């Protein structure tokens, strides 16, 4: 599998089907593995956050989540097969879970959101076994209980929605202790599943304008959109 370096972060070039297949391989291997979903904003964060950069480069798989990541790879002369959105990857794995007899744990987002996402998953994917749910608000004492609960429930897949870079750092720091075969940072996935946040219409996704839709729907995060032009400028400047 080809790996492409973008601003110091190594991203895997693969299709969605290949990403799902690799994720299933990780689960079968029964060793703690981590998948990161790298969009332009995450890669920009990694240029300023050495710890995040190290974590991404040590992750077992880094998928190109975002049109910016795909563009950057192609601009740098490396063929990125396609965008592998973290939301779609997680839904593919949830859909497979009942068929493969996999257990899933939802961790993160605001209170009640993960519960609503669980209810939605149970409707979309009949027979799915979601063995645990916890929101993303916790202190040090509560964190110990969350870790103990995950260890006790022994999920095959742990979806963590704490936002970037907190979710990546949390997974990296605890994955060996948790012993979950596959952990993925999923950002706003539970919010979309719960109906708290809308996803961009399909035409905007195909036009690579999902970032713009998120900015319009969430004015408070609009300032984060500045990361995209900064990313483009930095990538152009990095080309040798």
Find tokens 């987002």 and name the residue: 109
Quick check: 219 pLDDT over 90? Answer: no
82: DSSP letter:
-
pLDDT in tens, 171-189: 999 999 999 999 999 999 9
Quick check: 1 pLDDT over 80? Answer: no
Better-scored residue on pLDDT, 225 or 89? 89
Helices 210-217 & 67-75 angle (0-180, nearest 10) = 140
Q: What would the mean pLDDT of 63-85 be, rounded to a whole number?
A: 94
Looking from the CA of 176 toward its CB, the CA atoms found within 13 Å total: 3
Q: Report the pLDDT value the prediction gives residue 191, as an integer from 0 to 100.
A: 93
Quick check: 240 pLDDT over 80? Answer: no
Quick check: 216 pLDDT over 60? Answer: no
pLDDT in tens, 75-118: 999 999 999 999 999 999 999 999 999 999 999 999 999 999 99
Domain boundaries of the chain, sorted by first residue: 3-238
Tokens of 214: 């998120």
CA distance 95 to 77: 35
pLDDT in tens, 106-162: 999 999 999 999 999 999 999 999 999 999 999 999 999 999 999 999 999 999 999
Looking from the CA of 64 toward its CB, the CA atoms found within 13 Å total: 27
């Amino acid at each position: 599998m080809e790996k492409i370096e973008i601003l110091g972060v190594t991203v895997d070039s693969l299709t969605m089907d290949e990403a799902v297949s690799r994720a299933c391989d990780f689960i079968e291997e029964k060793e703690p593995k981590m998948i990161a979903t790298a969009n332009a904003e995450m890669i920009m964060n990694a240029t300023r956050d050495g710890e995040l950069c190290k974590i991404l480069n040590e992750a077992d798989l880094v998928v190109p989540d975002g049109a910016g990541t795909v563009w950057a790879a192609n601009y740098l002369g490396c063929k990125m097969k396609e965008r592998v959105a973290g939301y779609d990857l997680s839904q593919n794995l949830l859909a497979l879970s009942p068929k493969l007899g996999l257990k899933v744990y939802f961790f993160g987002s605001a209170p009640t959101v993960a519960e609503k996402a669980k209810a939605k998953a149970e409707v979309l994917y009949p027979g799915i076994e979601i063995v645990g749910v916890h929101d993303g608000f916790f202190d040090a004492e509560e964190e110990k209980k969350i870790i103990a609960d995950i260890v006790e429930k022994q999920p095959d897949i742990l979806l963590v929605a704490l936002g970037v870079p907190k979710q990546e750092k949390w997974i990296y720091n605890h994955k060996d202790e948790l012993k979950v075969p596959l952990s993925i940072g999923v950002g706003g996935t539970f919010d979309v599943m719960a109906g708290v946040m809308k996803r961009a219409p399909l035409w905007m996704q195909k036009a690579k304008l999902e970032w713009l839709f998120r900015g319009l729907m969430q004015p408070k995060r609009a300032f984060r959109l500045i990361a995209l032009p900064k990313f483009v400028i930095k990538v152009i400047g990095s080309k040798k």
